[in-house]
Structure 1
Amino acid sequence: MNGIAELKPFLQDAWKKAGFSDLTAIQERTIPLIREGKDIIAESPTGTGKTLAYLLPILEKINPDLKNLQAVVLAPSRELVMQIHEVIQKFTQTVDISSISLIGGADMKRQIEKLKKHPQIAVGTPGRIKELIQAKKLKMHEVKTIVVDEVDQMFQSNQMDPVQDVVKTTLRDRQLLFFSATVSEKAEKTALTMMREPEVIRVNRSELPASAVEHIYFVCERRDKVDVLRRILKMGEVKAIAFVKDAAQLEELASKLNHKGVSVGVLQGEAYKTERETVMKNFRAGKFSLLLTTDLAARGLDIQAVTHVIHMDLPEDVQQYIHRSGRTGRMGAAGTVISIITVNQEGALKKFSQELGQSIEKKELFMGEIVEKRPKLDKPRPRTQGGKTARPSRK
Structure 2
Amino acid sequence: MKELFNPQLKKYWNEKKFSEATPIQKQVYPFFKNKESVVAISPTGTGKTLAYLLPTLERLEPNHRLQAIIFAPTQELAQQIFLVADEWSQLVGITCMSIVGGANVKRQIEKLKNKPELIVATPGRFNELLKQTSKLKVHTVEWLVYDEADYLFSKGEQQITDINLIEKRLMKDIQRYFFSATKSEDFLNYLTEKSYEIEKLEVSMASANLKTDHIVMEVNNRQKTETLKRLAQIESMQAIVFFDQISDLERAAAKLIFERLPVSVLHSQLSNQERQIALEQFRQQKSVYLLTTDLASRGLDIEDVPYVIHYNAADNVRIYFHRSGRTGRMNKEGCVISIVNQQEGFNLRNMLKDSKILLEERVLYNRQLLSEKPAEEDKKHEIKKKPKKRPQAQKSKLTIKTKKKKRKRNTKNIGKPRKKD
TM-score using structure 2 length: 0.87
Aligned to 1:46: 44
Determine if contact 1:242/1:292 at 8 Å carries over to the other structure.
yes
Alignment of 1:1-395 (within 5 A): 4-64=2-62, 66-135=63-132, 136-158=134-156, 159-194=159-194, 196-209=196-209, 211-375=210-374, 376-378=378-380
Shift of 1:22: 1.6
State the Cα deviation string for residues 133-191 of structure 1 (Å, max 9, x = none). Answer: 11233110100011111011113322222122212210001111111111224312312
Shift of 1:112: 0.9
- Residues 26 and 147 of structure 1: CA distance in aligned 2, closer, same or farther (over 3 Å): same
**Secondary structure at 1:91's aligned position in 2?**
helix
**Secondary structure at 2:138's aligned position in 1?**
coil
Q: Specify the code of the residue in structure 2 equivalent to 1:231.
A: R
- Residues 23 and 182 of structure 1: CA distance in aligned 2, closer, same or farther (over 3 Å): same
State the Cα deviation string for residues 6-41 of structure 1 (Å, max 9, x = none). Answer: 421122112112222322111111111122111111
Q: Distance in 1 between matches of 2:348 and 2:185?
A: 25
- Residues 163 and 104 of structure 1: CA distance in aligned 2, closer, same or farther (over 3 Å): same
**Secondary structure at 1:339's aligned position in 2?**
strand
Determine if contact 1:176/1:195 at 8 Å carries over to the other structure.
no
Q: Specify the code of the residue in structure 1 equivalent to 2:363.
A: E
Q: Specify the code of the residue in structure 1 equivalent to 2:308.
A: V
Q: Distance in 1 between matches of 2:73 and 2:385?
A: 66
Structure 1: 5+ residue stretches without partners? 384-389
Q: Distance in 2 between matches of 1:128 and 1:53?
A: 25
- Residues 268 and 391 of structure 1: CA distance in aligned 2, closer, same or farther (over 3 Å): closer
Q: Distance in 2 between matches of 1:108 and 1:270?
A: 21
Q: Distance in 1 between matches of 2:384 and 2:277?
A: 57
Determine if contact 1:264/1:289 at 8 Å carries over to the other structure.
yes
Structure 2: 5+ residue stretches without partners? 393-421
Q: Distance in 2 between matches of 1:85 and 1:295?
A: 21
Q: Distance in 1 between matches of 2:143 and 2:323?
A: 29
Q: Distance in 2 between matches of 1:29 and 1:5?
A: 10
Higher Cα Rg, which structure: 2
Q: Specify the code of the residue in structure 1 equivalent to 2:46.
A: T
Determine if contact 1:146/1:167 at 8 Å carries over to the other structure.
no
Determine if contact 2:37/2:177 at 8 Å carries over to the other structure.
yes
State the Cα deviation string for residues 248-274 of structure 1 (Å, max 9, x = none). Answer: 112111011112221211101121111
Q: Specify the code of the residue in structure 2 equivalent to 1:315.
A: A
Determine if contact 1:269/1:298 at 8 Å carries over to the other structure.
no
Shift of 1:113: 1.0
Q: Distance in 2 between matches of 1:168 and 1:194?
A: 12
Shift of 1:391: 12
Determine if contact 1:318/1:355 at 8 Å carries over to the other structure.
no
Q: Distance in 2 between matches of 1:188 and 1:381?
A: 61
Tell me whether 370-379 or 225-234 shows the greater mean CA deviation: 370-379
Q: Distance in 2 between matches of 1:25 and 1:141?
A: 33
Q: Distance in 1 between matches of 2:13 and 2:28?
A: 17
Tell me whether 353-362 or 157-166 shows the greater mean CA deviation: 157-166
Determine if contact 1:74/1:163 at 8 Å carries over to the other structure.
no
Q: Distance in 1 between matches of 2:150 and 2:196?
A: 20
CA RMSD of aligned residues (A): 2.1
Aligned pairs, number: 385
Shift of 1:92: 2.3
**Secondary structure at 2:240's aligned position in 1?**
strand
Determine if contact 2:9/2:91 at 8 Å carries over to the other structure.
no
